[in-house]
Chain A
């Protein structure tokens, strides 16, 4: 019992230390930079961020919830395909969608050129409005991040017993009424959890908003650091951002407390899908296709156009090495992260320790820390460790892969945790009780009972983390060891110079590697129906 309290606690401390270091800046001095920020720019940063978050939230909810409801409740043209294909945009990081958007929709972007060619129009004719603004940013985040909402909402809809929806019909509700009064409120905890991930990712993004020159709180943080040379103020700003996210996080948890919508499994009945025909079927298909087109197909087409235009060897040593590095790191981190989440969640359940639960929540906000600020926290932590803990040993962990892996784990723990947590919600407590009556303690209960039952959740956790690691950029830039490039780094270095032709190939590779975990995920999605009946 004691080890199960202590072990996750000890591990978690290591992971929390860098976050604490960032927070500790709040107790330091406050420079004059604050006066300038408050007087001239802070209002702008904050209002832009709020506007962005609200816009993206509305966007992902509309796309994610609508598509999830359509594929779980109706039969229409292409439904089997959409069911798994809707998660594909997860493979496109927002910054890559932003790059391709400007490549397509700028005044002389490929989409505008295409329209001009098609209709034989003047050179100054511009059909598509500029995307380098907040609306563009909202579109980019909505279409790359909605799968987080789609995934959780879909599984919530699948878990809704048909008899509940039928009761609604018997009591006088039409299909719309059943959706808005029963299915939607019942799925609320799920899509709020997905929405939290989206909000965190939006607030911590730098690449896409920087490319669109939208001044958010995060770009303000970097401007303060890079331009005003004031790292301390930048860390204080980050801490504020984190506190706001923390607040959101706990509000969400709080609102879920005491709300247990899970059905008694013995009486669960899967829903029968309604067949849609003709125009209705076509319309629903179209609305399911749109997000896949904008968030996945369109950027890939643009990347392929660029790659074909590039007159340089694309399969060079740099490309192959960085692909290898990216894959290795992704899997390594995925496995470590899933194990960490499993152990912590097991300990919470086994020891019924509330404090551990809070610790796990705290670790989850790592997802929202802008990568560069996290990197600062980690570097400080590693230097501290080198000086005080490893000082007698003959090696230095600063600048090694440890920092990078640590950063990835902190960044993606939330993803692993949400998967493992929901896995545990499906295992009844009575299983624990009977196992323990039969003498299974600690590691045996975990290894022989929980782990086999959790395999799917565990694999999902690995896959989600891997796809996140493959995309991660800012922390990788600063923490990687010598001569260690990942695909995201190579993409960035080209894109920073807007050499998109050369950025295309590594971008495509990021997408391709990101797709592999998604294929596994979508297989699970397809089989999940069978498993749940």
Chain B
């Protein structure tokens, strides 16, 4: 039996009087890769923020591994949800070296150094480990951001337009590599993007989000 990783039921989110997400239902199994396509302002980032626990939802519930993490009355703090996220702006800690960035989420692990070297090899950033984020290129920063998010072995990895700041050549390279990594590690992925090609390469199932409502792609 496959394990359910994410289940969203009747999720509603609004800011002030504006509805951002309307009656969202979504389910994701272990190892499944799903993408959500949508224009900017469609609410797709907000959806990820709800799952991560950055937003208080107004109605419905979100469960991770069959455990409710968000409802209209309950909020499990982000740090206890065990999800990872990679965003367009990379959000690396500028005061820490690449190595320390990757180590950040796994300080208490006994085999943390092995994890770092493994991920560094996987993302081809071995030579950058002692540099500061400000000293490396945008593409390299995005690799580090992926490595950092994967280090704590999140049950769900969410990707919020992670490639839109990169040029085409870099993108293609990363797509190919990431696809292999995701496959090998049996990761559960939720990708939001406006790029159909990206969705096709990286995920097996696509949904469309428009004006806060989720639908199947035609």
Interface presence of B165 (CB below 8 A): yes
> Interface on B for A, CB 8 Å cutoff?
52-54, 77-79, 83-85, 87-95, 104-105, 134, 148-149, 151-152, 154, 165
Chain A 146-166 per-residue mask, 1 if CB under 8 angstroms from chain B, else 0: 000000000000000101101
Answer whether A170 and B89 are a contact pair too, CB < 8 Å, given A185-B95, A186-B95. no
Interface residues, chain A, with chain B CB atoms under 8 Å away: 161, 163-164, 166-174, 177, 181-182, 185-186, 188, 259-261, 263-264, 267-269, 272
* Residues in B neighbouring A186, C-beta threshold 8 A: 93-95
Report Cα–Cα, A188/B96, bound state, in Å. 13
Give the distance in Å from the alpha carbon of A260 to the alpha carbon of B133 in the complex: 10
Is there an interface contact between B88 and A267, defined as CB atoms closer than 8 Å? yes
Given contacts A166-B78, A182-B93, contact A171 B134 (CB under 8 A): no
Contact B89 A172 (CB under 8 A): no
Residue of A171, A188, A260, A267 with most chain B CB atoms under a 10 A cut-off: A171
A260 touches B89 (CB 8 A): no
A347 to chain B, nearest CB (A): 27
Taking CB atoms, residues of chain B closer than 8 Å to A260 are 94, 134
Q: Is the CB of B104 within 8 A of A161?
A: no
What are the nearest 4 A-B pairs in CB distance? A267-B89, A171-B105, A163-B91, A169-B78
Known: A170-B84, A171-B105, A261-B94. A161 touches B79 (CB 8 A): no
- Shortest C-beta distance, A318 to chain B (Å), equals 54
Partner of A261, one of B95, B149, B154: B95
| 19 cross-chain CB contacts under 8 A | A161-B89, A164-B92, A166-B54, A166-B78, A167-B93, A169-B77, A170-B78, A170-B84, A170-B85, A171-B104, A172-B79, A172-B105, A172-B152, A185-B95, A186-B95, A263-B94, A268-B89, A269-B89, A272-B54
In angstroms, Cα B171 to Cα A44, docked, is: 66
Q: Which residues of B contact A170 (CB under 8 A)?
A: 52, 78-79, 83-85, 105, 149, 154
Are B105's CB and A267's CB within 8 A? no
| A196 to B: closest C-beta gap in Å | 19
A172 to B148, CA, bound (A): 12
Q: What distance in Å separates the Cβ of B44 from its nearest Cβ neighbour in chain A? A: 16
Distance, CA A186 to CA B134, complexed state (A): 13
| Contact A163:B89 (CB < 8 A) given known A171-B104, A171-B148, A267-B165 | yes
The contact of B79 among A173, A185, A188, A259, by CB within 8 Å, is: A173
Q: How far is the CA of A166 from the CA of B54 in the complex (A)?
A: 8
Least CB separation from A263: chain B residue: B94
Nearest A residue (CB) for B108: A172
What chain B residues lie within 8 Å of A267 (beta carbons)? 88-90, 165
Min CB distance A443 to B, Å, is: 33
Residues of A within 8 A of B152 (CB): 171-172
Cβ contacts under 8 Å, B95 to chain A: 185-186, 188, 259, 261
Instruction: Name B91's contact: one of A161, A172, A174 (CB within 8 Å).
Output: A161
Most buried by B among A167, A174, A264: A167
- Cα–Cα, bound, A271→B84 (Å): 19
A170 to B91, CA, bound (A): 11
